[in-house]
Amino acid sequence: MDLKDKIRSIPDYPKPGIMFRDVTTLWQDARGFRKAVDELVQPYAGQRIDKVAAIEARGFILGGAVAHQLSVGFVPVRKPGKLPAATIGVDYDLEYGRDRLEIHVDAIGRGENVLVVDDLIATGGTALAAIHLVEAMGGKVVGCSFVVDLPVLGGRGRLEAAGHTVTSLVDFPGH
């Protein structure tokens, strides 16, 4: 089974010129979803991982399943104001402005090994912000896993240049 065939492409969404890669169609297919989770877990089987940190919102679906498979804790990385207890946050640049991510101040312990998970890597800004939060808490990022990579936007290269291991399951040209 080719996972790429299970991902819907929607032209001109959310704005003209963007080709949106919709992973919800992959999740609707039980075998495809299982295969994607298994392939995200496989590179880390047998490694010491303490937590999976997943980025809002589609990353939660994958991150929860990956954390379950690895028998580790799950840390939601959220937009501002979504977490109920004390948080730390980081602002980061987007193609069209700025945004912010937050995690609870007690989500990651010093020295814990953390796998960062999201559905897609584009420019890498969001993933780098999540990495920054993990490291600010004293955690060590052992890898970053994505279903989709958009290589033309350079996110994987940015993460690898910063010293991080990146796993992705399918590449799409363009964005």
**Model pTM score:** 0.96
Residue 175: the pLDDT is 63
- Spell out the domain ranges in the chain: 47-171
- Out of 39, 56, 58, 158, the active site residue is 58
pLDDT digits (tens, 9 = 90+) for 82-133: 999 999 999 998 767 799 999 999 999 999 999 999 999 999 999 999 999 9
* 174, pLDDT greater than 90: no
Note if 135 is an active site residue: no
Helix/strand/coil percentages in the chain, nearest 5: 35, 35, 30
pLDDT digits (tens, 9 = 90+) for 13-55: 988 988 999 999 999 999 999 999 999 999 999 999 999 999 9
Contact (Cβ atoms closer than 8 angstroms) between residue 37 and residue 65: yes
User: Burial letters for 112-141: b for 16+ Cβ neighbours within 10 Å, e otherwise?
Assistant: bbbbbbbbbbbbbbbbbbbbbbbeebebeb
- Out of 95, 100, 135, 160, the active site residue is 95
Correct CATH for 47-171 of 3.40.50.2020, 3.30.43.10, 1.10.10.10, 2.60.40.10: 3.40.50.2020
Residue 64: the pLDDT is 98
pLDDT digits (tens, 9 = 90+) for 132-147: 999 999 999 999 999 9
Residue 94: the pLDDT is 77
Note if 112 is an active site residue: no
